[in-house]
Amino acid sequence: MNTPKEPFRLAVVSAGTSDPSSTRMLADRIASRIGALAQERGGAVAVDVVDLRGLATEITTAIVSQHMGPKMTRAIEVLGRADGIVASAPVYKAAPSGLFSSFFHVLDNDLLIAKPVILAATAGTARHALVVDEQMRSLFAYLRTMTVPTSVFAATEDWNASELGERIGRAAIELLLLMESGFAEQVRSESWKSYQHEFGSAGGTELDIDLSSDLMRLATGGSALKPKRPE
């Protein structure tokens, strides 16, 4: 086990819209459980919260014009340097809320590669329980995150049930172990280039330019023609 000197940076993304919000409460419960577990194990966690309610207009602006406002820019910085993420959404109409999905839609595809993520959702009825596994998990698979095995779903009746606390505990230890293992950091340091990137992606941090590609050869007067017969 790595015992880091620096606390783990945990980003909590909540798409709850009321204040107080049960979606945010669920995210906070998960975050504080991770913090407590880390402390028991001699570590520490520093939490940054990205509450999407305050970013709503910037998110819609980003969708229609690609213009990133200052709050979006800060949120991207927070996610880019996070060691782990808690992503918590309310379920509307049998899907994670549009605000939640839209936020992740406008992020660069490579911003969250290999980062451990706990997926959480709240709903007014237990009938929405599979939204986390069937919809949110595929979004985060596309973003190539490392989602933990346990999803955390809380319908109205779950708030007073001890089982919710147990699921939170399971998800928290799963995330903590993934952070401790240094998995994301290692994937990103050893294999970053093998994923697709664009210049300036990963929140503006991906600035490596491969000068030996076929296109670069073409840019510098070379030919795009394939040799006519194999040498």
Partner 1 sequence: MQFGIFSVSDITRDPISGETPSEAERIEAIVKIAVKAEEVGLDVFAIGEHHNPPFFSSSPTTLLAHIAALTERLILTTATTLITTNDPVRIAEEYAMLQHLAKGRMDLMLGRGNTAPVYPWFGQDIRQGLPLALEHYNLLHRLWREDVVDWEGQFRTPLQGFTSTPRPLDDVPPFVWHGSIRTPEIAEQAAFYGNGYFANHIFWPTSHSKRLIDFYRQRFEHYGHGTRKQAVVGIGGQAYIAKRSQDAVKEFRPYFDEAPVYGHGPTLEEFTQGTPLSVGSPQEVIDKTLTFHDALGDYQRQMFLIDHAGMPLGMVLDQLELLGGEVVPVLRKELAARRDPESAEAPTHAGLVKAKYGDGPARQPRPNANRGDNVTGASPYQDSEPAAEYPEI
In 3D, which of 109, 106, 131 has the Cα closest to residue 120?
Answer: 131
36 binds partner 1 (CB under 8 A): no
220 binds partner 1 (CB under 8 A): yes
Out of 162, 193, 225, 230, which residue is the one contacting partner 1 (CB under 8 A)? Answer: 225
227 binds partner 1 (CB under 8 A): no
Tokens in use for 45?
């966690």
Out of 223, 227, 230, 231, which residue is the one contacting partner 1 (CB under 8 A)? Answer: 223
124 binds partner 1 (CB under 8 A): no
Under rule CB under 8 A, which residues in 161-200 are in contact with partner 1? 198-200
DSSP 120-134: EEEESSGGGTTHIII
Residue 61 or 181 with smaller CB distance to partner 1: 61
Q: What DSSP designation does 13 have?
A: E
- Tell the burial category of 87 from Cβ atoms under 10 Å away from its Cβ (0-12, 13-18, 19+): buried
CA atoms lying within 13 Å on the CB side of residue 89:
28
1 binds partner 1 (CB under 8 A): no
Chain positions contacting partner 1, by CB under 8 A: 58, 61, 64-70, 198-200, 204, 207, 209, 211, 215-216, 218-221, 223-225
